[in-house]
Amino acid sequence: MAEWVTIALIRRARGNRGEVAALSRTSDPERFRQLKRVILFAPGKGEGQEAVIESAWEHNGRLILKFQGVQTISDAEKLAGWEVRIPLGERRQLPPDEYYHSDLVGCEMFDHASGERLGTVVAAHEYGGPLVLEVAPPDGTRFLVPFARAICPVIDVDARRIEANLPEGLRD
């Protein structure tokens, strides 16, 4: 089974030529101009359908996509809520010390000094500042950890391990 990466969420129809407005889930909007084939997944469906991107552009801060074969507003309205995905292997390589959020989720977090297991990263949130990791310890509680080099000096996504120097009181 292929692993997929969601690169956009289709919000609604746009215009009268079958275009859709979408929320980009990538930091590089130029990516869509270079992509040709993607897989569209309907909400709650396990299998997707291949789609060809005819054109992609930005309008008022929103990503606009035109798919081959989607010609009318009615066709486009049917795609609201669908995800635009690519195979995991087609993701772009990131520079050193940059990470995909999806690669951080599922990593185990350990105390850098003691080696104590702190929990599992269950989500990555952006609130306008540095990325914040949501960590779930075995006791069922959760706490947030700023994803900054001073706090998380060791990040090994291949080993699924992050070591952290938690500021005093952070877990409380």
Prediction pTM value: 0.67
DSSP 8-state class, residue 142: -
User: What is the average pLDDT score of the chain?
Assistant: 89
Confidence category of residue 1, pLDDT binned at 50, 70, 90: very low
For 54-105, write each residue's pLDDT tens digit: 999 988 888 999 999 999 999 999 999 999 999 888 887 888 888 888 889 9
Which residues fall within 8 angstroms of residue 155, CB to CB, at 6 or more apart? 99, 104, 107, 162, 163
The superfamily in CATH containing domain 4-90 is RimM (2.40.30.60)
Domain spans of the chain?
4-90, 101-164
Question: Max alpha carbon distance in the chain (Å)?
Answer: 61
For domain 101-164, which architecture applies? Roll (2.30)
For 122-140, write each residue's pLDDT tens digit: 999 888 788 899 999 999 8
